[in-house]
Amino acid sequence: MQWQVSAIGIQAMFSLVSLAVFGRLISQEAFGQFAIINVLMLFIVSFTEFGFGACIVQLKEYNKYHVHFAFYASLVLGFIAFGFMCYFAGWISQFYDHKISLLCIQIIALNLIVKSLGVVSNALMIRRFQFKHLFFSVLISNIIGTLGIGFYLAFNQYEVWALIFALLSVGLIQVILNFFFAPHSVLPVFSGSEAKEVINYGTGLTSVRVISQIGNSIDKLIIGKYYPMAALGLYEQAFKIANLPKVYIARSIDGVLFSIMSRVQDNFIKQRSLYLNSLSLVGLITACFAMTLIFFPKQVISVLLGDRWLEASALLQIFGAYSFSVIYIRFTDTLVRAQNKLWGSTLIKFIFTIIKVALIILFIKTNLIWLAVVATIAYFIHAILMMWYASRIVEITFISIMKALKPILWITLIIVVKNSLLISLNAHVINPFLFLLFSFTLDAAIILWSYMRIPEIYGKDLFHFIHDTASEITLVNKVQKKLDPFMKWSK
C-alpha cells in the first residue's frame, strides 16, 4: 500500500509542478488545442485497451494465453487506432476551423501505440502488487519526460508541442520500465477459450469506458467548436485542478482496492465493507480540497497557474462541487469492475451522457460559467445513480450508503466554518501559497483531532478501516503509534 501511495504521490507532485510551470510559460490557446487533441486520443484509447489489462487483474486465475492474447490484441488495436487518427486528422482540423494543427494530431496519435505496448505489463504489476517498482517507473519517467523534455520545450516557447512531447516521453519511458519490471512472453501463441474470456470481459468494460469518456469530454469538444481556444484553455485547466482528487487521491487506493475486491468478489460482506469504508475515507480528504476550491479559488489559481489565469477562478469555484461528487463515481466504478457488473454501469453512463449533452447544447450560447454549472449538475446525477447501482450490487439499501457518508458531512461542516472564519479575518489576503499551506494544515489538524478525540463520529467500521489502512503505510504507522497515548479509543 505504501508504494502505491508513494507512486501516486510522485505523479501528483509532478502534476502540480507541471501545472505551475506550464501555466506560466504556455498560452491559454495552446492548452485549449491540447485539450481537444487529448480528449480525442483518450476516447480512442478506450477502444485500444479494450479492458485487456483490467481483465488480467480481475481474473481469479490467469495463464500465458491470457497474457499473449491481451498483448497482441491491444497492440493491433493500437496500430489501427493510430491509422484511424491520422486518416481523420485533416477532417478534425477542418471541423475546428484549423485552430488545431494537422501535424499535432498526427504526432500525438503515436501515444496510442505507446499505450498499447504497456497495457499488459502495467496490469501484471498491479496484480502482483509490484507498487514499489511502479513507484520507480513513475519517478524516472516523469523526471525525464516532464522535468527534462517538457520543461525544456516550454522554456523555449514551443507552446503546445511542449505538452505533446512531455506526454509522449513520459508514456514511452514508463512502458519500457514497466516491461523491465514485469516482463512477459511475446510469443504469438493463443488459445480460443482464454481469448474468449478476455474478450467477454473487455467488451463490457470497453462499453463503460467509451460511454464514460464521451460523457466526461463532450463539453470540451463542443466548447472547442463554438468558443475560442483560449476560452477552452481556461475551462480545461479549471476542470483539471478540480479533477486532482479523482486522478491522484482515488488512484492511490484504487489499484490496491480493485485487486483485493477482485479476489473477494464472492464475499458480499467483505465487498460491502471495502466499498463503504473506501468511499468515506477518500471523501474525507476530498471534502477539504473541494471546500478550498469553493472558498479560495483565486489563491489556488495564483499558486498553480499564475495570475494571468485568474479569470478561471469562477469556473474553479463551480468545479469544486464537481470534485466532491466525482470521487463517488470513481469508487463505484472500482466495485463494478471487480464484480463484472459492467452493462448496468454502461446504461447509467449513457443516461449521464445524454443529460450532459442536452444541458450543454441547451446552454451553449450563454457563457462558460453556465456550462460549468450544468456540467456539474450532470455529474451529481451521475454520482447518485452510480451509488444506487452499488447498493444493488452489494445488496444493501441506498440509505445505508448515505449513512456511510455521515462523517464526511460533519467534517465538511467544520471546514466550512473554518473557511468562513478565515475570510472574515481577512487571512486570505496574505501570500497565496502561505495561505493555502496554512489552510490545508488546519484541515489536516481538524481531521486528526477528530480522529484522536471524537472517533465516534466516524463509526466503528470506518474508524478501524482508517486505522488498519494507516498501518499499511510505514511512515503513517509510526506517527499513529506515537499518537496512541493521546487517542480516545472508541468503545
Q: What are the pLDDT digits (tens) for 361-405?
A: 999 888 899 999 999 999 999 888 988 888 887 778 878 777 777
pLDDT of 288 reads 85
Q: Over 60: is that where the pLDDT of 321 sits?
A: yes
Residue type, 88: F
pLDDT of 249 reads 67
Query: Could you give the CA distance from residue 150 to residue 483 in angstroms, rounded to a whole number?
Result: 42
* Higher pLDDT pick, 469 / 16: 16
Residue type, 282: V
Alpha helices in 364-431 (DSSP H): 368-393, 398-404, 406-424
pLDDT of 490 reads 47
Q: C-alpha dihedral over 263, 269, 272, 277, to 10 degrees? A: -90
Q: Is residue 183 classed exposed, middle or buried when 0-12, 13-18 and 19+ CB atoms within 10 A define those classes?
A: exposed
Angle at 332 between CA 121 and CA 374, to 5 degrees: 110
Binned at pLDDT 50, 70 and 90, residue 471 comes out as low
* Higher pLDDT pick, 386 / 201: 386
Residue whose C-alpha is closest to residue 351's, from 388, 378, 324, 311? 378
pLDDT of 316 reads 92
Residues 462-486, mean pLDDT to the nearest whole number: 65
Binned at pLDDT 50, 70 and 90, residue 489 comes out as low
* For the chain, domain boundaries: 1-224, 227-491
pLDDT of 259 reads 60
pTM: 0.78
Binned at pLDDT 50, 70 and 90, residue 452 comes out as confident
The pLDDT tens digits of the residues spanning 175-195 come to 888 888 877 777 776 677 777
**Listed ranges 10-24, 64-78, 355-369; the one with the highest mean pLDDT:** 355-369
Q: Which residues, other chains included, contact 176 with Cβ-Cβ below 8 Å and sequence gap of 6+?
A: none
* Higher pLDDT pick, 3 / 285: 285
Whether residue 260 contacts residue 334, with contact meaning beta carbons closer than 8 Å, is answered with no
Q: Over 80: is that where the pLDDT of 491 sits?
A: no
Binned at pLDDT 50, 70 and 90, residue 465 comes out as low
Q: Over 90: is that where the pLDDT of 215 sits?
A: no
pLDDT of 251 reads 61
DSSP state of 396: -
* Higher pLDDT pick, 306 / 183: 306
C-alpha cell of residue 319: 468545479
Is the dihedral angle over the CA atoms 115, 117, 120, 124 positive or is it negative?
negative
Binned at pLDDT 50, 70 and 90, residue 467 comes out as low
pLDDT of 157 reads 87
The pLDDT tens digits of the residues spanning 32-48 come to 888 888 787 777 766 66
Binned at pLDDT 50, 70 and 90, residue 411 comes out as confident
The pLDDT tens digits of the residues spanning 262-282 come to 665 666 677 777 777 777 777
Query: Could you give the CA distance from residue 288 to residue 450 in angstroms, rounded to a whole number?
Result: 14
pLDDT of 369 reads 92
Q: Over 60: is that where the pLDDT of 109 sits?
A: yes
Query: Could you give the CA distance from residue 35 to residue 220 in angstroms, rounded to a whole number?
Result: 7
Query: Could you give the CA distance from residue 52 to residue 340 in angstroms, rounded to a whole number?
Result: 13
* Higher pLDDT pick, 124 / 484: 124
